[in-house]
Amino acid sequence: MDTTGLRAAYKSFLAVARTERFSAPPPPEWTAAQLLAHIVAGDTAITAVALAVAAGERPSYDNRPSLDRWNLARICGAAGDLPALIDLVEQRGQLLCRVAEQLTDAEADVAVATLIISNDEVMLDSPLPLRGLIDGLGQVHLPRHAEQLAALAM
């Protein structure tokens, strides 16, 4: 798979994240750290799905763990601080890109049962080609969250 667009989206997202000075959001919005943890959780899960497809498995993708505040707190706590979370976003993004670049066209076209929820609304609950799941990160997910993070920048 071509990851040029995804890599550019990570670069843009990380540029915003590296300002490292963020105000508290209005409730119930996520803090900058929670937003970064959300990216880490989602990217890691999609990487696992891509690896499972490459292994011949039939995985599914469900973004609810990346929305769970307890899980986000766990990721934040394990990272320790904002700079470490930013580094983790970069590392997991690079890993996802490396895995995606190794997928064959047939693997990238495998339909993955996908559930994506945003703000308690089901955005997608149907099979999606793996390439669509990965490309969606660069085209929609990372830019949207970069805007959210930029809105918190001080």
SS3 148: helix
The mean pLDDT of the chain is 97
User: Which residue has tokens 């660069």?
Assistant: 138
3-class SS of residue 36: helix
How does pLDDT run across 106-152, given as a tens digit for each residue?
999 999 999 999 999 999 999 999 999 999 999 999 999 999 999 99
What's the predicted TM-score (pTM) here?
0.97
Mean pLDDT for the stretch of residues 27-49: 97
CA distance 38 to 131: 20
Tell me what the mean pLDDT of segment 100-109 comes to. Answer: 98
Q: Where are the strands (E) in the chain, listed by range?
A: 60-62, 111-118, 121-129
- Note the pLDDT of residue 128: 98
* Homologous superfamily of domain range 4-152: dinb family like domain (1.20.120.450)
CA distance 125 to 113: 8
Q: How many residues does the chain have?
A: 154
